[in-house]
Structure 1
């Protein structure tokens, strides 16, 4: 079937990753992200949506970015995943109509959580999201974007604008970075791609992979990002960590021609600066009020942790427990 006649449902699957956060068991963070999808990119609600819950490791101290949590926070995460199951089963809102919850039994990290979800995908493209990356403004051109990617296979990965990657100023930033890296390249303005499928858009070469919300070819993900011939993503980490470093090394050692291998582009839909389409939510803002108090106290206590007594077993506890103990001591 020609790309122009395929429906969005047939073309794209959404993969959203989630993992332990201080706000668990509250689902407000993920619901805010999914509701932003319904508000600003409602066409994507037609697509199958795989919500993959990463696993975790238990320890005496919580380090959420590393997937390490205390027994207490692990219990909160289990409650959170059960709540996600209910929201998906009950189709609690339009944003949850096509959501399927997948739980991973072990800690994988963002990159390998995406890899696990890819095993369930049978569409040509994927939209990769994180639980704390929310749409900030309307994006009605999803289908046109995918049709452009079909027309031009050079568009292997297209990221949506963020505060870091703001199209009106990204070109000058990229030129500066390439100069610092001593990478010789054609005039950068000439490197942007356009497509008849979406004449109001242009695609600016992105010189470094960015894990924020993006669209990509499923085949590209399987055969390149997670290639068995080379390790560009490691278990427990983000895709941009190792792959982004390799992309920079290739630019330095091979030159500008190496960019074609990565095919990373930034969508420029003509919006004036600041043009961010996707924002980053602070998970701590979604804590229940009682936990917020403890966490705020914990943050104030960090400057004087030596004044905080150890637990009876001599082990450090997570930041919420530290906050509670500090609060009780000062009360």
Structure 2
């Protein structure tokens, strides 16, 4: 199926990059975020020119042993994270500033918002189920920082950022996943615009539905994830092949979308984008429709608990429905170059990675304790 070649908005005008970050062993270093920004520049340059919302999540408890997934940090970790937030904001303002014009303090506007959440847990029974967030935005609206006074967790962090988003699409980016291959962002957006997920019974939706019925195969595309090592050759993996409904949906909808675009010389260019149906709403980096996200995943304040992950909660609900054949309402796809043999993401392991210097120092200490020859030095 070939997409039209009418004039379209640039990706930078259509997408907001939502970056979530939280305490890590590498703090106060911003090496994780630096690697992500570098991977954007190399493999998907428009992402570094989009609007950006950065959620600088916090911790719940200070304890003697760090348990980052549970929101526990040590006193030293808390102090380092305070410095990290300062460093991270400085880095993002530099990376996302207009060319030749760095942001200054007078460019920043400060407000407060609330993040409501749902929970049946007794631990939250005495609370009003809302977290106050300090929000700092540049006057041009290009960069927003969200700093909650209590820990949000990934799911509530994404929901909070989505509610501040003004673009029709979002790129969700955790702080420890880097791109390792080129991403055709413009083509993916064109496919998503031409194959919108339907919602409600509005006249526009009905008209769109009639158009879709006139096509032999025109399934909605509202979410596109990118393959990590565990998602290689996904279409033929046990995640799909063990379930008749998922096998059938893959056979029916897996395809190369053909995109037609205009060249600078006024001609046209034809390219193909391989996609296969995906049967889980993953948390790792993905491109999605803002409205679809809010309507389908965060349909109300009770959709996500504080501290919860989308993949572990709503994601598995979605998978259960997909196993029964209800996949189009979620409209999830996986970018699938080279029949799933092409890796797109590298995990930087933010919960354990301590930064270049600390990792090298630990390696040298291990070698020393085991009587191995040490011929390298820790960099200055």
For the criterion TM > 0.5, the same-fold answer is yes
In structure 2, the CA distance between the partners of 1:250 and 1:229, relative to structure 1 (3 Å rule), is: farther
Q: Secondary structure at the match of 2:161?
A: helix
The reply on whether 1:251 has 2:251 as its aligned counterpart is: no
Deviation at 1:118? 1.2
Q: CA distance change for structure 1 residues 4 and 114 in 2, over 3 Å: closer, same or farther?
A: farther
Residue among 236, 242, 251 paired with 1:189: 251
> 1:122 and 2:161 equivalent?
no
- Alpha-carbon shift at residue 11 of structure 1 (Å): 0.7
* Cα distance change, pair 178–142 in 1 and its aligned pair in 2 (3 A): closer
Q: 1:234 pairs with 295, 305, 311, which one?
A: 305
Could you tell me how far 1:207 is from its partner in structure 2? 1.0
Range moving further from structure 2, 100-109 or 154-163: 100-109
Aligned to 2:56: 53
Residue 223 (1) aligns with residue 266 (2)? no
Alpha-carbon separation, structure 1, partners of 2:234 and 2:359: 39
**Aligned partner (choices 47, 71, 93) of residue 67 of structure 1:** 71
In structure 1, distance between residues paired with 2:39 and 2:322: 36
Structure 2 runs not aligned, ≥5 long: 104-141, 197-219, 261-270, 367-380
In structure 2, relative to structure 1, the CA distance for the partners of 1:181 and 1:102 (3 Å cut) is same
Counterpart for residue 106 of structure 1: 150
CA-based RMSD of the aligned residues comes to 3.0
Instruction: Establish whether residue 261 from structure 1 lines up as the match of residue 265 from structure 2.
Output: no
SS of aligned partner of 2:300: coil
> 1:144-293 residue pairs with structure 2 within 5 A?
144-153=187-196, 154-166=220-232, 169-173=233-237, 176-178=238-240, 180-181=242-243, 183=245, 186=248, 188-197=250-259, 199-228=271-300, 231=303, 233-252=304-323, 255-256=324-325, 258-268=326-336, 270-271=337-338, 274-283=341-350, 284-287=352-355, 289=357, 293=361
Which structure has more strand as a fraction of its residues?
2
Are the aligned partners of 2:23 and 2:68 in contact in 1 as well (CA < 8 Å)?
A: yes
- DSSP-derived class of the 2:308 partner: coil
The Cα of 1:71 is off from its aligned counterpart by 2.0
Aligned to 2:8: 5
Corresponding residue of 1:307: none
Between Structure 1 and Structure 2, the one with more helix by share is 1
Structure 1: 5+ residue stretches without partners: 299-331
Query: Paired residue for 1:30?
Result: 33
Alignment of 1:314-329 (within 5 A): none
Q: Which 4+ runs in 1 deviate beyond 6 A?
A: 92-97, 294-298
